[in-house]
Structure formats: C-alpha cells, structure tokens
Amino acid sequence: LGVTTWKFKIDLLICLTKHKDMAKEYLGEFEELILTMVAALQDDAYGAAISEEIETRLKREVNLSAVHVTLYRLEDKGYIKSSMGGGTKERGGRRKRIYTVTSAGMAMLRAMKESRVELWKLVPQLKMS
Amino acid sequence: MSHHDHHENHNYHSLRLLKWFCPDHLYEEIEGDLIQKFDSDAKAFGERNAKWRLLWNVVRFFRPGILLRNKFLLKPKYSNMMIANLHFTIRHLMKQKSNAFIHVVGLAIGITVCLLIALYINHQVGFDSYHQNAERIYRVNSAFKEGGINFDLYATPDKLSQSIRSNITGVQQVAKARALFKTVIEVDPQKLFKQDRILVVEPSFLDVFDIRTLKGEAKKSLGQPYQALLSQSTVKKFFGKNDPIGKVIKLKGKFLFTVAGVMEDPLANTSLPAEILLSFTDDPEFLDNGDTWGFGDFDWVQLQMLTFILIEKRADAANIQAQLTTIAEKNINENTNLSEKIRASFELQPLNEIHFDTARFGGGPWVSAVNKSWLLFFVGIGAIVLILACVNFLNLSTAKAAIRAKEVGIRKSIGAVRSQLVFQFLIESFLLVSVAMLLSLIITSFSLKAMNDLIGQSISLQSILSIKSISMIICTLVLIVLLAGLYPALFIARFNPITSLKSNLLLATPRAGGMLRRSLVAVQFFISSLLIIAVIVISKQVEFMHSKNLGFEKENIITVELPNVRMAKSIANEFLSLPNVKDVALSRSSPISRDHWFNTISSDSTSDNRFSVCAIHADEKFYSFYGLKILSGRVPIVAEFIPDSLWKNEDVYKVVVNQKLLKQLELGEPNEAIGKHFWWGTTAEIVGVVADFNIEPLEYEIAPTIITQHPDLFSQANIKFEKGSNLTDGLASVEKVWKKNFPTEVFEIKFLDQQIHDFYQMENKVYGLFKIFAVVAIGISCLGLWGLVAFMAHIRVKEIGIRKVFGATMKSIVILFSKDFLLTIGIAFLIACPIAYLSLKKLLTNVAYRVEINWDVFLLAAAVLMAVVILLIGIQAIRSAKAIPINSLRNE
C-alpha cells in the first residue's frame, strides 16, 4: 500500500507537470536546443556529446546535469526516446544512452520552426538602400 | 586501461556520492558521461583540476530532476509490512481497550511526573543564568573565625569594593550593594508603604547584572545622588497609572529620592529580586536596616555590603581569590585592634551557586536557598515513577504475549524472520509510548499551574521548547521504548511456532514469563511500600514540627514592631490598658526566630575555648508572658541594666541562661549556677536559670541562650489577647494606639503561631510535592496490578469454569487467585521495611527534633498496602468466581 501510494503521488506529480506542458504545446528555449541537438547528432546523441557539441558550436557553457535532466524531461513528454548503446573502451566501459527524436518530437520541431518563420515575416526587413 | 583504473581510484568517492542519490536505471550512463567529461577536462585543465570539476559536476546532479526519478525509498516488502503491522497493532489495541488504556495512561502519568520534575529542576538549576555574563559574575563572601566557630557570611566590609578596584588585577567590574529590608516609604502623606527588597547600589551594578530599564537612563541616574529606579509593579503600587518619572519618594521620613526610571520586574529565577534600586548614599542612618555583622571596632570588620565582581574574560578565579586573601590579611588580620582570636578571609562564590547556598543564612538577602539534595531527591522520585511505569508496560506486554502466540506462530510458519517480528513489536511499543508522550504533554500543560501554586514558583512550559529539551524528550522516548518494549518484543518473537499453534491459549501461557512477572510485581510493590512508609513517617514529622511543645506559649499572641524604642515602655502600658489585652512584654525578638543575635562566650576572658550563644534581649515580663519556666534564681530587672555610657570596668551583666548553657560551661545544676560568672565580652553574672525552649526552627538543636535586659533594643511589643475575646476588635484597638504614636509609619502585625508555621514553608511544599508523587507512583503500581490480575482472570476463565463445575466454592477460587499476588507483595513489603527504616532514619538525622519510627508506622503502612491490594485483586477475583461456568466453557 505504502509504495503504491508514493508511486502514485510521484506519477501524479510527473503527470501534472507533463499535462501542463502538453496543454501549452510549448518547449523552453533550452529544451528546444537539446531537442534540436538530438535531431542533429542522430546516432551519436547522448548526454556528454550533446553538451560538448553545444559548447564547441555555440560557445555556450552548459552543465552536464542540466542536459541530462532536460533529456529525461523530453523523453517524459514523448519527443525523444532512448536505448542503451554498446559498451566502449572509453568512459571506463560505461554504456551510453542514445536518444532519437520521435515523430512527435520531429513534428514539434517543425511546428516551432514554422511559427518562428511566420513571426520573422512580421519583422520589418532592413533594405539595402 | 590502467589509466582509467587510476582515474576510477581517484574519483571513487565522487562517483560513490553519485551512486548514493542517483536512480539505478540512470546511473550507468550518467557515470559514463561524467567520466568522459573528466577525460576531456583532464586534457584541457590538468588532472587535479579535472578531479574537482568532476566532484562539482556530481554535486550539480543533486537536483530534483534527478532525485525525484528514484523509485521511492522503501523497498516494497518492508513498507507494505510496516503498514500492515500498524494495522494489526491498532486492531489489537482496539480489541483490548482496557489493556491499552492501562498501558498508555500508566505511562503517560509516569512521563508527566518526570516532565514536571524536569521542569522544576530546570528552573532551579537555571537560577541567575539569564545574565549575559553570568559565568563571570562572583559574589565575595566573608569567612570569619572566632575561637573554633566559623561565621560564613554574605556581607562584606564597605571598603572591600574600593580595595578590589584599586588592588586586584583581572577584575572588570566591582559593585557593592546594600540590601535594605522593610523600609517605610512615603509616596504622599496619605500613602505610606512598608517596602522590602530595596538595593542601594553603585552605578557599576548595572554593568555586572542585566537589568532591563523601560524608562529613563538607569546608569546615568544611579551615578547621581538620591535617584531611584522602580520596578514596574512597584510603580503601579506607588503611583497607579500616573507617570512616575520625576516624582519624589521619602524614605524613613527624611531621605528624598527622585524616581529616575522604571525597570522590568525581577524575574522568577533571580537571586537578587530588587524592586527598588537607589543610588548609593553613604549615610549610616539610611543604611541601617539590613543585615550587619560586627567583629570589632573598625571599618574592616563591620560587614554589611554585598560585593559582586565581574571578572575579565580570561581571568583566573583562583588568582583573584589569592589576591582577595591578601586584602583580608593586610586589612583585617594584621590590624592590631582586632582580637587575636578572630581571623578573616574573603571567598569568591560563583553567581549560580547562590541559589543553592543554604550555609550562609539562607543564601543572601531575599534568597531562599534550596538544598541541592532536594533536587537529587526529586530526580530519584522521577526515575522511580518512570521505572514503575515501564515495569507496568513490560509486565502487561509479556503477559499479553500468550494472546499473540498464535499470531507469531502463523507469521513464523509463513516465513517471518525473528528480526521482523521484533521490529513489529517494537513499532507497537513505539506507537503506544508516543501516544503516552503526547498525552503526558497535555496533562503537564494542565497540571503545571497547580504545581506552581503548590511550590510558589512560576515555571512555564516554554522552557521545554528549546532544542535541548526536545532532543531530551526524544531520547527519553527512545529509552522508554527500549526499556519497556525490547524485552517483550524479544520474548514474544522467541515463541516456537509449532507449540504455539498446536496448543490452545490456556496451555500456551508462557510459564517462563511468570517468574519474571512476579519479580517485577515484587519490585513495584517494594518501591510502593517504601514510598508508603516514607509518606507516613514524613507526614508524622511535619505534624510533629507543627505541634511540638516549644517550651513557651504561642497561642493568642501577636507581635508588632516599635519604630522608636524610647517610646516602648509608654506604648506597652497603653496596650496593656486596652480591654482585650491580657499581657504585654517588650523584647528585641520573639523567643523563636530566625533573626536572633549570636555572640560568643567563654568561661573567662583568657580562655580560648569559645562557644556560640544566642542572646535574647527582653524585659522582666517576657518570662511570664511566654510561660518560660524559671528553674532557679530570678529574672533581671530594668534597674540592673547599665547603659554603655555609665559602664565601669568592675560592672557585671546580670543575665538569665538556659540549661544548655550551663551544660556547655559545666556550671552544674541550676541552683548551683546562681551567682557564677562567665565571659561575654564583659563579665556576666547568672542571676537565674530558665528551662530550655526552642529558639529556632526545629531543624536546629536548642542553642545555649542568654536572656538579658536591654531597653535600648526593645523594638518589638509582644501582645497577648484574652482567650475567646474578639480578635478583630482587639487588633483594631492595638492598631489605633500604634497609629496614634507612629503616624508616619506603616502598621504591621504578626501572629506568632503563623510565623512559626511559616518556618516550615519549604518543608510543607516539599512534603506536598512528595506526597503527590508518591501517590502517583503507588497508583501506577496499582494500575499495573489491576491490569495483570484482569489478564490472569481472562486467561484462567476456563480453568475457573471447570473448577466451579467440579464444585469449587467462591472462597476457594478467590484464594486461588489472590494467593500468589498476596504472597509476592507481602514479601516485597517485608523487604522494604528495614530498608525504609534505615534510610528514613538517616534522612531524619539532619533534623534536630524528629519523630521516632515505631512499629505503628509499619503496621499502618501494611494496612494501607493490604487494603489497596486486596481491593484490587478481590474485585477481579470475585468477578471471575461469580461468572457462570457454562458461559466460559461453551465459548471456544
């Protein structure tokens, strides 16, 4: 009884946050960045690689734990899915969790890009005189 | 590879930290990512730096987004079991409501007593601790030696504070203070008060002690002459709601002080409960009504000031003590005016010891010092009560085990491990003890007021709200759970599943627990017997102290103070002419008093063998007035008194002495002693011998006593009313006469018997508390016995049924029931008797006048104990003996 109650409570908690976000159909800036990176890195999309990639390409300091938490959240929301990769000699033999974008995630990315483009059109364009 | 191993070794601790909080299913990849990050960091910043970065990265993972992904805390099988156990526990308790009630209430009462005692002791030990510098504050006491007699006094010479200031290193502040007792204060001509608790202080007093002022600048005003600080309640008493600042009050009819400020009322736990602080005024007439001791004719041996010092932060008290000794040596012992028989020194006493300093005349002005052994005594009582309550708990739990035997059997046979069962029963105990604890907190908060009223303290429950006391409570809780719950838990969990399942309830009654249970009952009633005997003896002692023949009359007598001794004789005559007044005598004090003067005497002026004697100054009527028995000779008359101014060297003091003094000086029988001389500073001649009477409260032996004429000291009129006369009228007429003579003074009467009664206030309070706690302790034992007997009746219900079917009479069944218990309790009582006798005898040796502990005490105790026990067992026994056998046998 005890554990089920606990679990229920946590599920409820996660479910509530999930529900809230779903309703808004909205991703935070960092979430969007991570989702984009997962899509871009394809078979090599895992926590450390994503953070390295962001650091080298965007010159932006990111924290590993922030990347991981965001990845888990995106997975909860159903935009990405994960599977454990094979062991390698690097990383002390630890396996990587490889993420791939789901079709819902792809749709989300696309929708966001389109809405950006729509909004961009509203901005008065500078003309060369 | 070896490279990585190296890393892993280094970073083992960081990663172990991660493992501690990271969910298992995420651990591997996070660890892998961290190691990868570490490798790249090591390349970029060096290995040392990377190591710290790794640790920091691990710490960054300690966030809700990770933590909440743990599948929570308790492993399913344990938490499920715990919930189930809780269910079972509650079911059990509900099924046996009376049993649970006894468990919880008994414990709750026990814990309540402990809590109350803890609060009391906390209050006592915390005396004076509220001052910010409390640990650095000391009082300087005087220790004088005259002949073989020690005088330990809290008063010091006036000059001491100045001398400390200029000669002693390591002292931050010195403050002298003079305590003035009841002093007449005139607020306006219509408003006179007799005000106690006045301290005349130097401004540095406020640097030593924390005194919170509400109005005015305390320190500044005390530095100026004739300024006063009043406590809030004194302000209310004097001025009502009017602003007191700037008002003038008149002390002793001539000293005008301006009210310069208002301070907070003294706290309940202070040893310096001053209601009024006055700036220091060096006028002997102003300073005269306080404690004063004199050992000779120069300043340094006139003791009247309290001297307090605040030592510097890292100063060594022993070093300061040594310097104080030097001061005493230089100024007193080397003074040629001082009698060679007198030796003096000064002693440092930490502030927090004043409250326990019973040696120095009650500890100080307005201090009623508490003997530390009383505190120990109460700790003992608390422990006993708690142990009794725990024993109850233990007893009932093991007895109940028979009922739980089947449950344990089933649990074991479906695979419960013993540790799980122990855990289950401990949880059960924990639940009961926690409920008891809560209940006791509620009872404590309600009974605290009653206890405060009884002991005249104001202890608040707030002091319990500190972290220290809460952690103490939790420790007690755990201790009780272990004390009371561990054995039953181990005991029950030990049952063999096969026997407990196979046999029925009756046979499963664990005989093994019987012996233990019986000895625990014996222990309980051993303690209860001790307490019953103690209560009887102490109540007899208290009664004895109130009713003992003191050797003088005390009925229908009042005393009034006479502010002007010159008018004493004429006022006495006026009193005597009043209709209801039977007799009047003049004296300095009553025959029994805590305020007697003590001097030293020896057989002649050269003798080193000195004795302390009590000197009573009284007129010739004093003897017949109080019914003192003159054994031989006569009483000295006024004409025989020679004032100091007319004193010639060959003159002798005419005195009456008591039998004790004769014995002390070996002067023989009363009729032989008449006309003999002894040395009392001057030569004294015995003109009469009076039978011994009690001059002090009965803790003290009768001291050798001198009674002599001294009209200059007759500051008290003793007035005896006619038996059966109207007291109200009598008092009113006495007051009228007094008021006519002393219009600017405050009239106050004291009833002699009330005064004598008040000597034993402390005893009465302690006895009152002890009686209550003893009754509670005995009650707890009885509660336990009741539960145990009820349980036995329950277990043996079939046995009794069968016996009845076979024709057992009610009498035989009642005997069967009571025999074991009565035997056990009887033995406990027999063991308790000699121990009670010896320890009470020892306790009473501190009291000079004590009751004998006779057989009647033990008979009475036995009767009380047996009455209670037989009542308890009898009700149960008769109830089960009366039960119809069919009902008990039919029901399977």
- Answer whether B664's CB lies under 8 Å from B611's CB: yes
Using an 8 Å CB-CB cutoff, list chain A residues near B36: 48, 90-91
Better-scored residue on pLDDT, A6 or B445: B445
pLDDT in tens, B729-752: 889 999 999 999 988 888 888 999
Q: Give the residue carrying structure tokens 């009380």.
A: B864
Residue B81: Cβ within 10 Å count: 18
Instruction: Kindly tell me if the per-residue pLDDT of B406 is higher than 80.
Output: no
Q: Which residues pair with B410 in a beta bridge?
A: none
Contact check, Cβ <8 Å, A72/B26: yes
The β-bridge relationship of strands B255-263 and B227-231 is parallel
What six digits make up the tokens of B842?
């020892």
| C-alpha closest to that of B766 among B526, B461, B451 | B451
Confidence of residue B892 (pLDDT cuts 50, 70, 90): low
Given this model, what pLDDT does residue A44 score? Answer: 87
In angstroms, rounded to a whole number, what is the distance separating the alpha carbons of residues B633 and A30? 115
Question: SS3 for B846?
Answer: coil
Q: Which residues pair with B557 in a beta bridge?
A: B720
Given this model, what pLDDT does residue A21 score? Answer: 45
Q: Which residues of B touch A (CB under 8 A)?
A: 1, 4, 7-8, 26, 28-37, 39-40, 57, 60-61, 63, 65-66, 68-69, 71-74, 76, 79-80, 82-83
Better-scored residue on pLDDT, B35 or B81: B35
Helix spans in B265-371 (H): 317-328
| C-alpha closest to that of B239 among B199, B186, B286, B278 | B186
User: In degrees, to the nearest 5, what angle opens at C-alpha A70 toward C-alphas A64 and A72?
Assistant: 105
In angstroms, rounded to a whole number, what is the distance separating the alpha carbons of residues B877 and B867? 15
From A1, A65, A91, residue closest to B61, measured CB to CB: A65
Using an 8 Å CB-CB cutoff, list chain B residues near A84: 28-29
What percent of chain B has a predicted confidence (pLDDT) above 70? 96
In angstroms, rounded to a whole number, what is the distance separating the alpha carbons of residues B586 and B709? 10
Given this model, what pLDDT does residue B506 score? Answer: 44
* Three-state SS sequence of B6-57: HHHHHCHHHHHHHHHHCCHHHHHHHHHHHHHHHHHHHHHHCHHHHHHHHHHH
Interface size, chain A vs chain B, as Cβ–Cβ contacts under 8 Å: 90
Given this model, what pLDDT does residue A20 score? Answer: 45
From A7, A64, A96, residue closest to B57, measured CB to CB: A64
Average pLDDT on B293-303 reads 86
Lowest-pLDDT range, B38-47, B81-90, B291-300? B81-90
In this prediction the pTM is: 0.68
- Answer whether B737's CB lies under 8 Å from B571's CB: yes
pLDDT in tens, B632-671: 999 998 888 888 778 887 788 899 999 999 998 888 899 9
The DSSP secondary-structure symbol of B352 reads G
DSSP string, B54-73: HHHHHHHT-SHHHHTTSPPS
Given this model, what pLDDT does residue B766 score? Answer: 79
Lowest-pLDDT range, A44-48, B42-46, B268-272, B472-476? B472-476
Average pLDDT on B813-822 reads 83
User: In degrees, to the nearest 5, what angle opens at C-alpha B640 toward C-alphas B618 and B588?
Assistant: 15
| C-alpha closest to that of B186 among B748, B744, B749 | B744
Q: How many helices (H) and strands (E) does chain A have?
A: 5, 2
* Three-state SS sequence of B261-287: EEECCCCCCCCCCCCEEEECCCCCCCC
Given this model, what pLDDT does residue B597 score? Answer: 85
What six digits make up the tokens of B531?
């307490």
Contact check, Cβ <8 Å, A3/B79: yes
Contact check, Cβ <8 Å, B32/A7: no
Question: Which residue type occupies B253?
Answer: G
- Answer whether A114's CB lies under 8 Å from A103's CB: no
Which run of H or E residues covers position B259?
strand B255-263
Contact check, Cβ <8 Å, B72/A97: no
User: In degrees, to the nearest 5, what angle opens at C-alpha B598 toward C-alphas B597 and B603?
Assistant: 135
* Three-state SS sequence of B103-153: HHHHHHHHHHHHHHHHHHHHHHHCCCCCCCCHHHEEEEEEEEEECCEEEEE
- Answer whether B586's CB lies under 8 Å from B618's CB: yes
Instruction: Please tell me which of A118-127, B342-351, B596-605 the model is most confident about, judged by mean pLDDT.
Output: B342-351
Contact check, Cβ <8 Å, B29/A94: yes
User: In degrees, to the nearest 5, what angle opens at C-alpha B238 toward C-alphas B236 and B241?
Assistant: 45
Given this model, what pLDDT does residue B486 score? Answer: 84
> Which ipTM score applies to this complex?
0.78
Better-scored residue on pLDDT, A7 or A76: A76
Better-scored residue on pLDDT, B560 or B365: B560
Contact check, Cβ <8 Å, B61/A96: no
Residue B582: Cβ within 10 Å count: 16
Using an 8 Å CB-CB cutoff, list chain A residues near B39: 90-91
> Does residue A30 belong to the interface with chain B, where contact is any CB pair within 8 Å?
no
Question: Which residue type occupies B302?
Answer: Q
Confidence of residue A2 (pLDDT cuts 50, 70, 90): very low
Instruction: Please tell me which of A12-26, A110-124, B304-318, B352-366 the model is most confident about, judged by mean pLDDT.
Output: B304-318
Instruction: Kindly tell me if the per-residue pLDDT of B448 is higher than 80.
Output: yes
Average pLDDT on B804-828 reads 86
Confidence of residue B138 (pLDDT cuts 50, 70, 90): very high
- Answer whether B622's CB lies under 8 Å from B606's CB: no
Question: SS3 for B586?
Answer: strand
Given this model, what pLDDT does residue B582 score? Answer: 92
The β-bridge relationship of strands B191-195 and B581-587 is unpaired
Confidence of residue A126 (pLDDT cuts 50, 70, 90): low
Question: What rounded mean pLDDT belongs to chain B?
Answer: 85
Secondary-structure percent of chain A, ordered helix, strand, coil, rounded to 5: 70, 10, 25
In angstroms, rounded to a whole number, what is the distance separating the alpha carbons of residues B242 and B240? 6
Measured in residues, chain A has a length of: 129
Given this model, what pLDDT does residue B231 score? Answer: 94
Given this model, what pLDDT does residue B622 score? Answer: 94
From A3, A69, A96, residue closest to B63, measured CB to CB: A69
Using an 8 Å CB-CB cutoff, list chain A residues near B4: 92-93
Nearest C-alpha of chain B: how many angstroms from A73? 8
Better-scored residue on pLDDT, B539 or B101: B539
What six digits make up the tokens of B594?
């805590």
> Please, which residues have CB within 8 angstroms of residue B565's CB and are 6 or more apart in sequence?
B711, B712, B713, B714, B715
Given this model, what pLDDT does residue A71 score? Answer: 93
Nearest C-alpha of chain B: how many angstroms from A11? 10
Given this model, what pLDDT does residue B79 score? Answer: 63
The DSSP secondary-structure symbol of B566 reads G
Lowest-pLDDT range, A122-126, B481-485, B805-809, B813-817? A122-126
Average pLDDT on B325-334 reads 91
For residue B127, what are the CA distances in angstroms to B30, B123, B124, B270? 59, 7, 6, 6
Cα B256 versus chain centre, distance: 40
Using an 8 Å CB-CB cutoff, list chain B residues near A55: none
| C-alpha closest to that of B516 among B482, B496, B490, B481 | B490
From A6, A69, A89, residue closest to B72, measured CB to CB: A6
From A7, A48, A91, residue closest to B72, measured CB to CB: A7
Please identify among residues 52-111 of chain A the ones whose CB lies closer than 8 Å to any CB of chain B: 52, 63-66, 68-69, 72-73, 84, 89-97
In angstroms, rounded to a whole number, what is the distance separating the alpha carbons of residues B725 and B203? 53
The residue of A65, A97, A98 whose CB has the most chain B CBs within 10 angstroms, and thus the best one to mutate to test that interface, is A65
| C-alpha closest to that of B26 among B66, B72, B64 | B66
User: In degrees, to the nearest 5, what angle opens at C-alpha B237 toward C-alphas B233 and B241?
Assistant: 85
> Please, which residues have CB within 8 angstroms of residue B638's CB and are 6 or more apart in sequence?
B619, B620, B709, B711
Instruction: Kindly tell me if the per-residue pLDDT of B673 is higher than 70.
Output: yes
Instruction: Kindly tell me if the per-residue pLDDT of B829 is higher than 70.
Output: yes
Contact check, Cβ <8 Å, B72/A3: yes
Instruction: Please tell me which of B366-380, B683-697, B773-787 the model is most confident about, judged by mean pLDDT.
Output: B683-697
Using an 8 Å CB-CB cutoff, list chain A residues near B80: 1-3
| C-alpha closest to that of B51 among B19, B17, B13 | B13
Interaxial angle between packed helices B2-10 and B12-21, expressed in degrees from 0 to 180 and rounded to the nearest 10: 60
Instruction: Kindly tell me if the per-residue pLDDT of A22 is higher than 70.
Output: no
Measured in residues, chain B has a length of: 892
The residue of B1, B2, B11, B33 whose CB has the most chain A CBs within 10 angstroms, and thus the best one to mutate to test that interface, is B33
| C-alpha closest to that of B398 among B266, B481, B516 | B516
Given this model, what pLDDT does residue B744 score? Answer: 80
Nearest C-alpha of chain B: how many angstroms from A110? 27
Question: SS3 for B699?
Answer: coil
Using an 8 Å CB-CB cutoff, list chain B residues near A47: 29-30, 33
Contact check, Cβ <8 Å, B83/A94: no
Instruction: Kindly tell me if the per-residue pLDDT of B816 is higher than 90.
Output: no
Confidence of residue B10 (pLDDT cuts 50, 70, 90): low
Average pLDDT on B771-789 reads 87
Residue B385: Cβ within 10 Å count: 27
Average pLDDT on B55-73 reads 80
